Amino acid sequence: MLRARVTITLKQGILDPQGDTVRSALAALGFDGVADCRVGKFVLLRLTESDRAKAAAQVEEMCRRLLANPVIEDFRFELEEIP
């Protein structure tokens, strides 16, 4: 079995008001060393497929068709073996 860790973020250049709000909130708590903050989504998938190449192709397709909006979002993922 494989586990896919998918992260989805807004593309560079797309405004991210949620990220700005988090940065302000962190600054208000005293964390003033944050130059930039972007908020995205994270999806953890447990796949029955055990072939890495096939799994990668499946996850790529899932991101394109459902998980991410390719117009405004970038995605990236890593696969790891699980018992």
Binding residues for a copy of itself, rule: CB under 8 A, are 1, 5, 7-9, 19, 22, 25-26, 29, 31, 33-49, 58, 61-62, 65-67
DSSP code at position 74: E
Q: C-beta of 69: minimal distance to a copy of itself in Å? A: 14
Minimum CB distance to a copy of itself, residue 79 (Å): 13
∠ CA(47), CA(55), CA(7), 5° rounding? Answer: 80
**What residues contact 45, with CB distance under 8 A and at least 6 apart?**
3, 4, 6, 59, 62
In the complex, the smallest distance separating the C-beta of residue 48 from a copy of itself, rounded to whole angstroms, is 5
